[in-house]
Structure 1
């Protein structure tokens, strides 16, 4: 850019910056320095032009903050009008005896054209304009401004806190938060300024009345005393000029009052005021009753039919056009979504956030087809509802989808993206399970039950009755997959429980026991620690149904025990009654397997020696222990009996970790977990002889 261009831009910038100070200086000069009538005419026209421009801008803005300079503009427009009133008063009182043209053609035109040269009519017209401006528009706009300013300032702290919360949650960047804070501050400043600016309009209206009275009284006195006019001549000249001057000033004041009222009564919208009104009145349901009512009025005797009936016809035409436009828009089909770009790769293609997944081969899609009743989906919903009640937290949704890479009749169950179960089922056949007490065998496709590992055969539906008579348990394909999924969910309950689930449990508990939650988290236990303890309980088959008792136990234990592992053991001891009742009812004795005293002592010594080890039991001893427990527990599990292996509190955790991978259905309790007074039944002793008679004894926990 050349130096001349830079200099020119600098002069232009300086000129723009000097416009406002120069305009303010001119306002002061109008009040002090006498001006000719021609310049006064120019000032009145400029005043009307500015008022019209302000009104148009106020109507066309989408939201009030788009015209944030309005309070200042209103101040300067009011000052201009008052300055012109002072200048016109000076001209009227000095030169009014020369005739109605002495104060300029604008005042003369308003005096003759608007009121017909009759000053009495002018007084009444001016009074009506003053009532409209002062009592109706200005008072209403002032009240709205006051209420808006109060509500905006009261809501300011909450809006600032909401912005800070969104910023801390990562929903806003620091730059966006800064812009939002600026908008909130500007909004508060604007409505506060509008509350004060409304007083300018009200004061201007009052000043107009006082200036009119002064012009009339001053003109009558000067005309009769200084210029020798009669009272009637002085009244005809000075009152007419005073009324014309007042009307010239009152019309722009009325325009500014309407603009101020339009600004403060606006509701933020993407559209301007014209668009809002057009869209909200653009319904044929509003215009049809109008046309009907006007038509009924038009046919009544004595009504001006030539006026009312055309108005009814016009309203009916508007309703018809709006209805036709609405029907045309409804008939246009929505635009088709853009065709997917084959080269684009979405995040959903490379990540899978489903906690539970069920993948089906294409031959099994009919099991989830709604047109065929979706039998598998109904069973999955029932499983989730039942297990949610049993485990004490909401089981996540199971994402079911087809997988063309699988065999046609194969399915696969995943937990957190890890494959934990898969098998094949045949949707058009039934699975006959060998219950172990068959009268005769039937022919079919040999298989293994995926849930319990029982021998089974797939048979056609026609053989269902024959299989039942033979002693088989017959189930359909959807039930086989659903039962397998049920077992997987029970086994993987700890993997399905996370911090979100822990927080939901705490939120639900807060409604009934707020003090308990307040004394549990964040001190002494964090949300992470609570979730870890809940997962540890679920991993060993302890449900979270009575979370209040579990939370109370956590709160008591956390104050004295810093070790998380020992904390879980002590929580188990506090909720022993809950754990025991998962095995047997209250009135039945608890069947238990115990360890021989020497084996118990050896195991306790091993745990004490390797207290910090993950697996403190020596491998050789552990192998023999697993074999001994398996030989005793295997037949009992085969009979469907429920029992627990009971050991010392010190060895319980180590023994549970040792037996868990091999005998997941054998719970391991400590002596302290069995409630006082609970009857137990020793059904076997590992490392000793099985009692000849069942031993009932009371065990003190």
Structure 2
């Protein structure tokens, strides 16, 4: 155990000893001086902190110091009443500080107690109570502000975590200070009670046990009690003052001394006004004219010096700006480099949609973005980058744009005072509104008012509010372009996260036989076809097995997909219902197989347009028919051609899912709705 830990433990044990065992007066002298010194250290530390959390141990320290002082009072009371003495320090305070006059000492003691109890303690207690209340009330707003900055890309995840921890610590600190201020209040009351008890029982003990007359007993015990009260109340006053400084301290760049001198001297003209006021007091009142004129001269000289200092520094700044032509910030290379940064995802909106993101106006877009990132982490298995949200005056008032890596991907328009109603397939003439298109899936819809909402719901329309519309659109855009958001750095984060729980598995895959870029290729292939990569252990086990056999990452992806058959089956098949698909005819599959070219870099489909175009058109026709029947468009084919069929149609019909027989569980009932043939 370290020495500093032992000091605290020994101090607590010493407090217990003082409450039980009588101490000799030399030790009492040492403890009294220690008490005064400790109080001085605490108030000086409190004055030199820039914000309250720098002295976060203060509430606990306040309890220990109060307990130490009360234990010292018990020991000194035992010595005063038992031996009619309390050591050199108390005797000095009784004789020298108050001139040996018990009445003067008692009055001084009362004044100190009144100052401490009525002024400082009551004020500190009130500030602590209000500070705790306002800090707790402000916590939700501060948390939302942190989330907003995080979503806007202004801070990193680590910085957001630090700021959240700071908010929690502030709440704990002010809550503790609210309770700790009661210690100071109780200490002041205890000091008064102890002095009264010492005086009364001192007279009784002096007269009845020690044989003193009334005057001698009163002089002896009153003087010792007042000295004891003074040596207790002076440190208590310092601690109370430190409490007030801590709870009233606002965060700043300097300590208390720096802030006081800087802010009081920031208005030199006020020193002229104060000096003139003091000067006229000497002229028109009987106050000593020499004294008032001297003080007025000091104030005027101070104002003159401060004004010249400010003017000189201002002129120097203006001259430097004129010589340089531009500020140092504009010339620093960091500002130029920052312009090169590209945000992975951006959401820009016109000024008419500002209430959507402004929490003060009831907007919850920032909270929805946080939920979108969590939802996609569960669905896709990747951490979606921070979404930067900003307004753009170049857009129409009700328009918004979604960008991926600074390029516009999608655009939409919202009417904040309306609801979007999507038809169930049968139009109801009673439901009227502004015709529009649902942005996420391209479905026809209507913007309807509040008065039409109930009628639309009764007619079977799907009615959603504008924040839900934009949240759905943003979610679908991110899903469709998730493979573009997974770069080397993001892949490295996923690998490192997996390594924490599967270190051996990761070591078998990377850096040998597969590099980080090759792993990224497999993962992006999966995301491109809207396959979740959350089951990384299975993905890595498959890559470990087949990564040594081939360097064709497209082929490795096919093996990974087959290993994820259970996941793919759950994604598309409904329990107890047949999976409706379209299939390829034998002739089409043979035509594709015959046109696969094998190279040292992998296999690819080399089919001339005259042969491929009829296949694409037939697949489109069958997929549309399947979609009109209310089923997900799925094209089922053999494992040998799945990858090439997907490459053939993805440019024209990215919404069609291409699966192979090996990617479905054996128990799944497959129902062919149509066949692609030429």
Relative to the length of structure 2, the TM-score reads: 0.55
By how many angstroms is 1:354 displaced?
3.5
1:20-62 Cα deviation digits (max 9, x unpaired): xxxxxxxxxxxxxxxxxxxxxxxxxxxxxxxxxxxxxxxxxxx
By how many angstroms is 1:323 displaced?
4.3
> Which residue does the alignment assign to 1:449?
438
By how many angstroms is 1:583 displaced?
0.9
1:204-263 Cα deviation digits (max 9, x unpaired): xxxxxxxxxxxxxxxxxxxxxxxxxxxxxxxxxxxxxxxxxxxxxxxxxxxxxxxxxxxx
Q: Is the 8 A contact 2:597 2:604 kept in 1?
A: no
3-state SS of the aligned residue for 2:512? coil
By how many angstroms is 1:291 displaced?
4.9
Equivalent-residue separation in structure 2 for 1:280 and 1:442 (angstroms): 68
Q: Which runs of 5+ in 1 are unaligned?
A: 1-142, 145-273, 689-701
1:71-99 Cα deviation digits (max 9, x unpaired): xxxxxxxxxxxxxxxxxxxxxxxxxxxxx
Q: Is the 8 A contact 1:439 1:471 kept in 2?
A: no
> Which residue does the alignment assign to 1:304?
85
By how many angstroms is 1:642 displaced?
2.4
By how many angstroms is 1:526 displaced?
2.2
Equivalent-residue separation in structure 2 for 1:495 and 1:420 (angstroms): 12
Greater mean alpha carbon deviation, residues 643-652 or residues 414-423: 643-652
Equivalent-residue separation in structure 1 for 2:328 and 2:44 (angstroms): 43
Equivalent-residue separation in structure 2 for 1:615 and 1:438 (angstroms): 45
3-state SS of the aligned residue for 2:509? coil
Equivalent-residue separation in structure 2 for 1:280 and 1:465 (angstroms): 62
Relative to the length of structure 1, the TM-score reads: 0.53
> Which residue does the alignment assign to 1:421?
410
Equivalent-residue separation in structure 1 for 2:329 and 2:69 (angstroms): 58
Q: Is the 8 A contact 1:355 1:397 kept in 2?
A: yes
* Cα 1:457/1:279, change in 2 over 3 Å: closer
Alignment map for 1:451-490 (pairs within 5 Å): 451-490=440-479
Equivalent-residue separation in structure 1 for 2:429 and 2:328 (angstroms): 58
3-state SS of the aligned residue for 1:458? strand
Match of 1:361 among 324, 341, 350: 350
3-state SS of the aligned residue for 2:613? helix
By how many angstroms is 1:567 displaced?
1.9
Q: Is the 8 A contact 2:578 2:670 kept in 1?
A: yes
3-state SS of the aligned residue for 1:661? coil
By how many angstroms is 1:298 displaced?
3.8
Q: Is the 8 A contact 1:295 1:308 kept in 2?
A: no
* Cα 1:386/1:352, change in 2 over 3 Å: same
By how many angstroms is 1:656 displaced?
0.7
Equivalent-residue separation in structure 2 for 1:332 and 1:577 (angstroms): 58
> Which residue does the alignment assign to 2:606?
616
> Which residue does the alignment assign to 2:252?
334
By how many angstroms is 1:536 displaced?
0.9
* Cα 1:594/1:361, change in 2 over 3 Å: same
Equivalent-residue separation in structure 1 for 2:380 and 2:536 (angstroms): 10
* Cα 1:486/1:281, change in 2 over 3 Å: closer
> Which residue does the alignment assign to 2:616?
626
Q: Is the 8 A contact 1:609 1:616 kept in 2?
A: no
By how many angstroms is 1:582 displaced?
1.6
3-state SS of the aligned residue for 1:519? helix
> Which residue does the alignment assign to 2:556?
567
- The alignment status of 1:344 with 2:344, answered yes or no, reads no
By how many angstroms is 1:576 displaced?
3.0
Q: Is the 8 A contact 2:355 2:361 kept in 1?
A: yes
Match of 2:397 among 395, 408, 424: 408
- The alignment status of 1:662 with 2:652, answered yes or no, reads yes
Equivalent-residue separation in structure 1 for 2:454 and 2:667 (angstroms): 49
Equivalent-residue separation in structure 2 for 1:288 and 1:664 (angstroms): 73
3-state SS of the aligned residue for 2:595? helix
* Cα 1:281/1:614, change in 2 over 3 Å: same
3-state SS of the aligned residue for 1:320? helix
Q: Is the 8 A contact 2:73 2:232 kept in 1?
A: no
Q: Is the 8 A contact 2:42 2:239 kept in 1?
A: no
CA RMSD in angstroms comes to 3.7
Give the number of equivalent residue pairs. 416
By how many angstroms is 1:479 displaced?
0.9
> Which residue does the alignment assign to 1:218?
none
Alignment map for 1:190-339 (pairs within 5 Å): 279=45, 285=62, 291-299=69-77, 300-301=80-81, 302-305=83-86, 307-308=89-90, 310=93, 312=228, 313-314=230-231, 316-321=233-238, 323-324=240-241, 327=244, 330-331=248-249, 334=252
By how many angstroms is 1:558 displaced?
0.9
Equivalent-residue separation in structure 1 for 2:514 and 2:89 (angstroms): 81
Equivalent-residue separation in structure 2 for 1:320 and 1:370 (angstroms): 45
Match of 1:438 among 402, 405, 427: 427
Greater mean alpha carbon deviation, residues 673-682 or residues 403-412: 673-682
Equivalent-residue separation in structure 2 for 1:333 and 1:572 (angstroms): 56
> Which residue does the alignment assign to 2:634?
644
Equivalent-residue separation in structure 2 for 1:659 and 1:304 (angstroms): 102
Equivalent-residue separation in structure 2 for 1:422 and 1:613 (angstroms): 37
